[in-house]
Structure 1
Amino acid sequence: MIVNTKFFDDIEIDEKEIIYFKDGIPGFEEYKRYVILNIDDKCNLKCLQSVDERDVCLIVINPFEYFLDFEIELSDEEILNLEIENESDVIVYSVLTIRDDKITANLLAPIIINVLKMKGKQIILTNRNYSIRQEIKCL
């Protein structure tokens, strides 16, 4: 399948790589299908690219690689909706905001993906110790 992307023009993907977001992503509820694309190995930056809309592309990181004390706890409902059976089936991403003077990660609303079932959801954490604008530095 050919997908027109924001940063990589047209790319071919296997349909098995498509992650389905039943409710979409807040702000982009009408778009349900996404794919993860690698941007930069050094910082482990990735794109969460909409399959259906080229301009809907979120830059994401694995927050555990940047914030060693980062923790999340999913509700029973979230686990059920994502069909999670094992913790090892889950990948977590945080959305980045890139400005001229700094890069911040949204730790308060991580994106959870069941990589076996290819289902995703952005959740809102109740832990107020996390920020939607936590500054990060690429090493």
Structure 2
Amino acid sequence: MKILTKYHGEIEVQPQDVLTFDHGIPGFLEEKQFTLLPLPETAFHILQSMKTPELGFVVASPFTFFKDYDFTLDTTTVEQLGSPSEEEVQVLSILTIKELLHESTANLQAPIIINLATNKAKQVILNNTEYKPKHTIFAQPEHAGQKG
């Protein structure tokens, strides 16, 4: 099927590439189907709505930037995702890309969990955690904060 996208124009999406969020994404509860589109030569993807062309989130694996990122999913969430094995799970974080790249952030408090076997997906809000919605993903430039 063909869809219009925010960053890639009109593209063809195969049915097996459609991710289903049964309950939508927080703030976008009516948006239940998305696809992942790679951004060439980067570690980033666009999580593109299948319904709304202008709705696309820049996402990446949080482990690319935060090697020690770790959390536990509650039983209800695991069941909603179809009880995938650890190998069948992909974790993504929504990024906020800033004009000054070193100011870009990742939302580690609300990861997107994808069951790769079924393409069921869910954005999970982690409670009781030190993770926040905005973690800087790139090191600050050495001259940041210094007057020159």
TM-score relative to the length of structure 2: 0.88
Counterpart in 2 of 1:60? 59
User: Partners in 2 of 1:27 and 1:33 — Cα distance?
Assistant: 14
Counterpart in 2 of 1:87? 86
Which secondary structure does the structure 1 equivalent of 2:39 belong to?
strand
What is the letter of the counterpart of residue 36 of structure 2? I
Question: Is 1:34 the equivalent of 2:56?
Answer: no
Q: How do 1:93-132 and structure 2 match up within 5 A?
A: 93-101=92-100, 102-132=103-133
Runs of 4+ in 1 over 3 A off after TM superposition: none
Using the TM superposition, give the Cα deviation of residue 126 of structure 1 relative to its aligned residue in structure 2, in angstroms.
1.9
User: Partners in 2 of 1:61 and 1:96 — Cα distance?
Assistant: 7
Deviations 1:43-86 (A, max 9, x none): x1000000010011000010011101100211110010000231
Task: Point out the structure with max Rg over C-alpha.
Answer: 2
Question: Which is worse superposed, 118-127 or 102-111?
Answer: 118-127
- In structure 2, stretches of 5+ residues that fail to align are 140-148
User: Partners in 2 of 1:58 and 1:136 — Cα distance?
Assistant: 16
- Percent of residue pairs bearing the same amino acid type: 36
Structure with bigger strand share is 1
C-alpha RMSD of the superposition: 1.3
| Number of residue-to-residue matches in the alignment | 137
Using the TM superposition, give the Cα deviation of residue 94 of structure 1 relative to its aligned residue in structure 2, in angstroms.
0.4
